[in-house]
């Protein structure tokens, strides 16, 4: 029973990329937490096979977070004005949380995993806000913290697709409300 020891004969082997993709798939399923053993089982492989490709569990988490949150920075809409770009950047960030709530929760528990990417996102946001208001540091903190908190609510509602759409719309409303106050436009009235 079970496979013989040593490298399998005809197998084409694992790849770091395939492991990361499988890990995101696994995290997307209901109630599945990202374990080295469950990830290995899903790939039909021994837990230890993973270590050569993705390092230990913390490294795996870091690689996943860079892949997911690195995409947030890929947006380019340099033509738009600063408030619109702030809006787009935060929406992308918030969406990334909604797409991978379990990963985000794991990162929150081990904040070093996101350090580099998070800093780059924050820097871009800071630059955009500086063009809008002299109180850009205060508003950067407000917008980032609010995005995190709203993302946390997304995490708590993991799995429920319909509710997720509602919450995404609520985030848009809240974000618009704050951007209006921030830019001083103070649009129309309530309702």
Q: Residue 170 touches which of a copy of itself, DNA, none (CB < 5 to 8 A by kind)?
A: a copy of itself
The DSSP line for 57-118 is HHHHHHHHHHHHHHGGGG---TTS-HHHHHHHHHHHHHHHHHH-HHHHHHHHHSGGGGHHHH
Q: Which of 38, 49, 126, 133 binds a copy of itself (CB under 8 A)?
A: 133
By CB under 8 A, residue 172 contacts a copy of itself: no
User: Which residues, 6+ apart, have CB-to-CB distance to 187 below 8 Å?
Assistant: 180
User: Which residues, 6+ apart, have CB-to-CB distance to 84 below 8 Å?
Assistant: 77
Minimum separation from the CB atom of position 53 to a copy of itself (A) = 27
Minimum separation from the CB atom of position 37 to a copy of itself (A) = 19
For DNA, the closer of residues 11 and 185 by Cβ is 11
Q: Residues 32 to 71: which contact DNA by CB under 7 A?
A: 34-38, 45-49, 51-53, 56-58
Q: How many angstroms separate the CA atoms of 101 and 74, rounded?
A: 20
User: Which residues, 6+ apart, have CB-to-CB distance to 21 below 8 Å?
Assistant: none
Minimum separation from the CB atom of position 43 to DNA (A) = 9
Minimum separation from the CB atom of position 120 to a copy of itself (A) = 17
> CA angle, 105 as apex, 103 and 108 as ends, to 5°?
110
By CB under 8 A, residue 134 contacts a copy of itself: yes
By CB under 7 A, residue 173 contacts DNA: no
Give the number of residues in contact with a copy of itself, rule: CB under 8 A.
31
Q: Residue 57 touches which of a copy of itself, DNA, none (CB < 5 to 8 A by kind)?
A: DNA
């Amino acid at each position: 029973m079970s496979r013989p020891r040593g490298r399998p004969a005809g197998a084409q082997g694992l790849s770091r990329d395939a492991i990361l993709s499988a890990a995101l798939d696994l995290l997307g399923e209901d109630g599945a937490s990202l374990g080295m053993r469950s990830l290995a089982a899903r790939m039909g492989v021994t837990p230890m096979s993973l270590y050569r490709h993705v390092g230990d569990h913390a490294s795996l988490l870091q690689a996943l977070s860079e892949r997911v949150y690195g995409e947030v920075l890929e947006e380019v809409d340099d033509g738009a004005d600063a408030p619109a770009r702030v809006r787009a950047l935060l929406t992308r960030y918030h969406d990334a949380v909604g797409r991978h709530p379990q990963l985000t929760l794991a990162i929150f528990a081990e904040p070093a995993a996101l350090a580099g990417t998070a800093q780059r996102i924050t820097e871009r946001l800071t630059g955009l806000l500086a063009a809008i208001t002299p109180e850009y540091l205060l508003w950067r903190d407000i917008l980032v913290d609010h995005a995190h908190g709203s993302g946390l609510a997304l995490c708590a509602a993991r799995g429920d697709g319909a509710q997720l759409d509602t919450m995404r719309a609520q985030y848009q409303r809240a974000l618009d409300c704050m951007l209006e106050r921030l830019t001083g436009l103070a649009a129309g009235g309530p309702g």
